[in-house]
Amino acid sequence: MADLVSQENGRGMTGYRLGGQDFLFNFTVSGLEHYQMQDIGPNVIQSLPIALTSGLSCRTKGWVGEQWREVETWFAPPGILLRVAGGSDFFIGPGGHEIVCVSSDRSDFQFNPRVIAGLDHEVLLGPALVLALALRGIWSLHSSAAMFGEKVIVFLGESGQGKSTLASYLSRNQGWCLVADDILPARMDSDGVSVLPHFPQLKLPMEAQPGPGLPEQLPLHKVVALTPAEPDAMPELQLLPPTLAIQVLLRHTAGTRMFPPEMLGEHLSFCSLAAGQVPVYRLTYPHRKDALPEIKELLENLC
């Protein structure tokens, strides 16, 4: 398939600011009113001739919509076409600035504004935004995070290892606040590694979203990788050497299986630099409620 279509300037586009970045969508997103831009200007988007599919880039499996689904990325010059089984296709423009929902028969771009819902909502706020941010050199950590005073601690770990439980517990204590529940974009700045908390957390209702109440950008203070332990074990923090720290960051970045080779190289460079600037710790984490106060004390001392 090499059908070409063309976008007209600004027609039916809605602006959102997510993860500290401006995006244009050809749809609206329920629940993202806090992130919607009021004025995107008359000439923000340029005409884009798009080859809908010109070559498969990646085929993998991803957890989307409460089940494992086939995820494909296709070269679609000048951008990328994302396909998730059961959902609509999303075209991601060059540099990740535009995300366009393609009609189910892929014959046109349905520029009349519509509301994204259901599976498409999860595809957009999951793989589509993760890929669009990565095109801008922003990497989405699969993490929770909390801030003590002005110091952000990111918690990394596999699903079910207690990231959300720990961040939620900390945020209910004096001096702490929630930064992220599941996904947190991060980037390298001239001053070090920053996190971008203005990003919707899929598992939290709109009224519980932490992002709108926080600055758009925060310096990252520490990274803590959670390691499960026996219930009777004592919580323990251990500073990781740089090689292990890099591996932790690589393993817990969302969407890497979708990345083309050049993007994987950029991601490796980010993880290497970040591990050299931000201390990465391993937290032995016994899953019992009475261990949480002791873990809180360990983390406060770390800050």
| Tens-digit pLDDT string for the chain (303 aa) | 334 333 434 456 789 999 999 999 988 888 888 899 886 654 444 444 455 556 888 999 998 988 999 999 998 888 899 999 999 999 999 899 999 888 654 444 444 457 888 899 999 999 999 999 999 999 999 999 999 999 999 999 988 788 999 999 999 999 999 999 999 999 999 889 999 999 999 889 888 899 989 999 999 999 999 998 888 889 999 999 999 999 999 999 999 999 988 999 999 999 999 999 999 999 998 888 889 999 999 999 998
Q: What angle do CA 262, 279, 201 make, to 5 degrees?
A: 65
Its sign, for the CA torsion 23, 28, 33, 36, is positive
> Coil, strand or helix: which one is 92?
strand
Terminal CA-to-CA distance of the chain, rounded, Å? 55
Q: What is the chain's percent helix, strand, coil content, to nearest 5? A: 25, 35, 35
β-pair partners for 187: 194
Whole-model pTM?
Answer: 0.89
So what's the pLDDT on residue 222?
97
Q: How many angstroms separate the Cα of 62 from the Cα of each of 93, 189, 197, 220?
A: 22, 30, 23, 28
Q: Reduced to 3 states, what is the DSSP secondary structure of residue 51?
A: strand
CATH of region 139-302, choose from 3.90.228.20, 3.40.120.10, 1.10.510.10, 3.40.50.300: 3.90.228.20
Instruction: Go through 55-90 and write b for each residue having 16 or more CB atoms within 10 A of its CB, e for each that does not.
Output: eebeeeebebbeeebebbbbebeebbbbbbeebbbb
Q: What does the domain layout of the chain look like in residue ranges?
A: 4-134, 139-302
Judge contact between 82 and 71, C-beta under 8 A: yes
- 16-37 burial, b at 16+ Cβ within 10 Å, e below that, comes to bebbbbebbbbbebeebeebee
Among 119, 137, 1, 31, CA closest to 69: 119
Q: Residue 158, SS3?
A: coil
**Other CB atoms within 10 A of residue 179 CB:** 26
- Type and span of the H or E element at 272: helix 261-277
